[in-house]
Amino acid sequence: DEADLQRHFDAVIAAEHRIEPRDWMPDGYRRTLIRQIAQHAHSEIIGMQPEGDWLLAAPSLRRKAILLAKVQDEAGHGMYLYSAAETLGADRADLTDKLIERKQKYSSIFNYPTLTYADVGVIGWLVDGAAICNQVPLCRSSYGPYARAMIRICKEESFHQRQGYELLMTMMRGTPEQRAMVQDAVDRWWWPSLMMFGPPDADSPNSAQSMAWGIKRHSNDELRQRYVDMSVPQAEVLGVTLPDPDLEYDPATGHHRFGAIDWDEFQRVLAGDGPANAERIRRRRAARDDNAWVVEAATAYASKHGS
């Protein structure tokens, strides 16, 4: 009966084994996973836009080839993640509709515009760096398909991070104007990158239960702190200043203290009022609607050929 199933589920979680699609799971566990995985998938797909904007203006063939590969990787990540959500009974087209109708979220970070090519580098370094920090522990998430998808995604994100850092290193060896461009991009992206980790633990309604279920392995604030500690020496090597006068190493804790995050800005962006929210959703809607005939044709073809 249900109590036995629940006991078995609890034992699997306690033993750090994996829950698989055909296993019994509590409704709340399933709902939470669909919510998080869908939000994650939407972020990958919407995240193609800010960098995709530079594909036709990349400064060299080499940079264009790298950026093209990277943006295609993000599409692949979105597809893996939608597949993982499907193993929980979700429907991909329905999830996309919910994104477009703003019933499901995607990462706040992708609601900021990319103003110069340095933004491509900074997204690789900081945004993908934050993504890795958040996602490496998810390789040990308790739900098998999600954890396994994360392994490949994290490998590709590491490549993305390196390409961003290498691009910035190249610009920093360039002209004073190029160095200023990098600093300006860092100034604009640093604070939003800290918001990627989600609200402070005390204001994070889902964390406690998600951690008890082994879906999340660390709290939002723990991962944010890890990211700050990781980024400070990288900024020094690069020769840029992180835009936080309160950023300071604390020898007592071995961590960097940092200034107050503007959580009002975070809430505004979540509510749909960030600099690029309307544009991101408008384009996603257009992609769905303009390409509906491809889906219809492919579906008709598949049903005729019995695949």
Binding site for ligand ACO (CB under 6 A): 35-36, 39-40, 43-44, 47, 105, 107-108, 131, 134-135, 195-199, 204-207, 210, 216, 220, 270
CB of 173 to ligand ACO, least distance (A): 27
* φ, ψ dihedrals at 22, nearest 5°: -85, -5
Q: Which two tokens stand for residue 42?
A: 């939407």
Q: Which is nearer to ligand ACO, 186 or 195 (CB)?
A: 195
Q: Which is nearer to ligand ACO, 234 or 241 (CB)?
A: 234
CB of 186 to ligand ACO, least distance (A): 18
143 vs 16: CA distance, rounded Å: 10
CB of 262 to ligand ACO, least distance (A): 13
Q: Which is nearer to ligand ACO, 241 or 268 (CB)?
A: 268
CB of 170 to ligand ACO, least distance (A): 22
Q: Please, are residues 280 and 111 in contact by the beta-carbon 8 Å criterion? A: yes
Q: Which is nearer to ligand ACO, 43 or 179 (CB)?
A: 43
CB of 295 to ligand ACO, least distance (A): 24
Q: Please, are residues 191 and 243 in contact by the beta-carbon 8 Å criterion? A: yes
Q: Which is nearer to ligand ACO, 172 or 214 (CB)?
A: 214
250: left (phi over 0), alpha (psi -120 to 50) or beta: beta
Q: Which is nearer to ligand ACO, 208 or 295 (CB)?
A: 208
Q: Which is nearer to ligand ACO, 137 or 241 (CB)?
A: 137
Of 50, 221, 52, the closest CA to residue 133 belongs to 221
Largest CA distance in the chain: 70
Q: Which is nearer to ligand ACO, 163 or 220 (CB)?
A: 220
